[in-house]
Amino acid sequence: MSNSFQTEHENICMNANHGRNDDSACGFHCIKINDISVIAGGQTIIDKVNLHIHCGKVTAIIGRNGAGKTTLIRAILGEIKHSGTIEFMDLKNESRIDLKIGYVPQYINIEKNSPMSVYDLFAGYISNYPVFLRKNRKVYEKVVKQLSIFDARDLIDKRVCDLSGGELQRVLLSIAVTPVPNLLLLDEPVSGVDQKGLDLFYKNIQYLKEHYDLAMIVVSHDFEFVKKYSDHVILLDKTILREGSFEDVSRSEEFRKVFGGIA
Amino acid sequence: MDAIYDIMEKILPFSWVEYNFMKNALLAIIIITPLFGMLGTMVINNRMAFFSDSLGHSALTGIGVGTLLGIRDTNLSMVMYAVVFALMLNYINRRRTMSTDTVISVFASLSMAAGLMILSRGGNFSRYSSLLVGDILSISSPEIGLLLIIFIVSLAYWSLCFNKLHCVGVNVTLAKSKNIRTNLVEDTFSILIAVIVMLSIKWIGILIVNALLILPAAAARNISSNMREYHLFSVLISVFSGIAGLVLSYYLGSATGPTVVIIASILFFITFVIGTSRGK
């Protein structure tokens, strides 16, 4: 890592740290995604994507359908084969740390009439105590606590298949941040969410930004969200066509080519 | 074994308890049905109904391949073949070049045709036709012992791996992000299903084994709202259908397997009506 990058970075951190509590982003963590490429069936789906992501920042990925946004997310998660590296650095002492990634999926496979409560869903991820036995009080309390962060406490005994899009989104968000990851990936988190749910979701993202030490990558079609909440925007089509602030990207030639002059 | 027989004769005031084959069958049902009820819950949740069905159909092929290789023990050759078959299906399925249904159909058809071809050579296929409906009355005490071992292993697996299996069923990527080894979980579950289905086929029958795996859990879904109720009802329905089916088949003189399935199906429709009228 070059020195200039680091100094510049530390300056940002100093400013960012001002007046924040201990839980919030320290600014000293940096995730470097180097030269990620994905080739499947002889076709290049992602071509040499480089990203630098800092804790406390929201990076939005935009692009047309089929531009490889979900593939990039799955490559970062390590679910599909890819070349390139992902490094997670602590800039304070330049050490490398294991990156913990949280993920909020686009959808989950739960059919109508599925006998699964929010507690069942949640407990499966955070405990080894079999969900089919009596409820475990300790686990139950933990789930209540985590759901409360995102105004989802009352949902705990509801069936997952009865939740609205927004409610499910909040449950998945609480699952993704239990335990708190270093990087949170959200794949089109607002598809099928109504306006009230959207507002609440944005509020929660803002809350995460302010109170947690994590970086976020959000795949989104919702330019209003991208404009308001993201710190960095990436226009993706196999590779990065353009990146920068939303204003920069949305005024660019590349943006007009992809989206034909909306927004 | 005699001690168990004595107890059964004392507590069960029915004429059929006199027969050892009925006592054995009852013991076998008491061991197999809770297992089927339990495993069925996840077979449905993780959408593996078609998978377990084609697994059952591959039993004939297992026997066929076994005879070709000169393996005497048909249980052994069936289990081995089914495990290989299950792992291969998982492997191909993960490459995501085709939809799951298509992959399973192709392999199930091929496998079944191969089995029928091998076994029908020389025109003595009828020897194997008893496998189609099974015969629980022919089960012997050592075989009950084997089922009991499987029962214990499955219980241990279930308490250790259930949560992970549950997570994999919800969303594979999400499960991976939580450091769950999804392939390992899927493969071990497939192997477990393969072993249990194969070892039960002689008693329950190829045509019926999947119904027993699916029906109790499907009925339980109609009336449960969480995992605890789901498991409880599924196991209860499974055990009840098993015992009631055995007793009824004794009095009606019908094959046991189909009788059990009929009872489980009736329970499915009853729970369906209860579930809908509750407005869930």
pLDDT digits (tens, 9 = 90+) for A39-90: 887 888 888 888 888 888 888 888 888 888 888 888 888 888 888 888 887 7
Q: Is residue A159 part of a domain?
A: no
Give the pLDDT confidence score for residue A19 in this predicted structure: 37
Report yes or no: A230 and A59 within 8 Å, Cβ to Cβ.
yes
Work out the mean pLDDT of chain B and round it to a whole number. Answer: 87
Q: d(Cα B23, Cα A181) in Å, to the nearest integer?
A: 56
**Domain total for chain B?**
2
Q: What is the DSSP secondary structure assignment for residue A244, as one 8-state letter?
A: E
Between A and B, how many residue pairs show a Cβ–Cβ distance under 8 A? 92
Three-class SS state of A110: coil
* Better-predicted residue by pLDDT, B237 or A205: B237
Across the interface, of B163, B221, B225, the residue whose CB is closest to A124 is: B163
| Residue A165: inside a domain | no
Residues B119 and B73 in one domain: yes
Same domain, B117 and B198: yes
Domain limits for position B129: 46-134+163-202
**CB-CB: which of A74, A115, A125 is closest to B230?**
A115
Q: Which domain holds residue A88?
A: 3-100+179-259
Is A103 close to B231, i.e. CB distance below 8 A? no
Residue A109 located in a structural domain: no
Element (H, E) at A32: strand A29-40
Pairing relationship of beta strands A29-40 and A83-90 according to DSSP bridges? antiparallel
Does B197 reside within a domain? Answer: yes
**What are the structure tokens assigned to A35, written together?**
């030269």
- The answer as to whether B99 is a domain residue is yes
Q: B189 with B212, same domain? A: no
Both B84 and B217 in one domain: the answer is: no
Count Cβ atoms below 10 Å from residue B187 Cβ, excluding itself: 16
| Shared domain check, B174 and B61 | yes
Which chain A residues are within 8 Å of B154, Cβ to Cβ? none
pLDDT of residue A23 exceeding 70: no
Cβ-count burial of A150 within 10 angstroms (0-12 exposed, 13-18 middle, 19+ buried)? buried
Judge whether A173 lies within some domain. no
The pLDDT of residue A7 is: 42
pTM above 0.90, yes or no: no
Cβ contact A116–B227 (<8 Å): yes
Mean pLDDT for B147-159 is 93
Count up the domains in chain A and report the number. 1
Q: Is residue A63 a part of any domain in this protein?
A: yes
pLDDT tens-digit readout, B53-69 = 888 888 888 888 888 88
Query: Residue A27's pLDDT is what?
Result: 64
Q: Which residues of B touch A (CB under 8 A)?
A: 41, 45, 47, 158-160, 162-164, 166-167, 169-174, 176-178, 220-222, 224-231, 275, 280
Same domain? B170 vs B228: no
- Find all residues with CB under 8 Å of B90, minimum gap 6, and list them: B183, B186, B187, B190
Kindly state whether residue B142 falls inside one of the protein's structural domains.
no
Same domain, B240 and B273: yes
Q: What is the predicted ipTM?
A: 0.81
